[in-house]
Amino acid sequence: MKDPMSNPNANELEKNPMILNQVLKPKSKMEKITPDRIELVKTMTKNFKLFGTLHKKLKNRIIELFSITLFKSVMV
């Protein structure tokens, strides 16, 4: 079986604290959805293959942010 950490894209993403911080903050009931965060979530979900090796918490967080983004766009 291939080493899951051999995916250079996922490794790069995990090592890049700026991307991780953008994805993982703020963690409140009413998340502030900024255009930057919407773009980030769209980009990350577009490249979802990268997340095959990412930490499960991070993947869940991206999915959660994407769901909130979709919900907000439906509400407008």
Q: What is the pTM of this model?
A: 0.29
C-alpha to C-alpha distance for 5 and 50, rounded to whole angstroms: 11
C-alpha to C-alpha distance for 40 and 74, rounded to whole angstroms: 18
- pLDDT tens-digit map of 21-39: 666 565 555 556 666 766 7
C-alpha to C-alpha distance for 76 and 71, rounded to whole angstroms: 9
Q: Which two tokens stand for residue 28?
A: 């409140």
Instruction: Quote the mean pLDDT of the chain.
Output: 61
pLDDT (0 to 100) of residue 67? 75
Do 51 and 10 contact (CB within 8 A), yes or no?
yes
The residue ranges of every structural domain in the chain are: 34-76
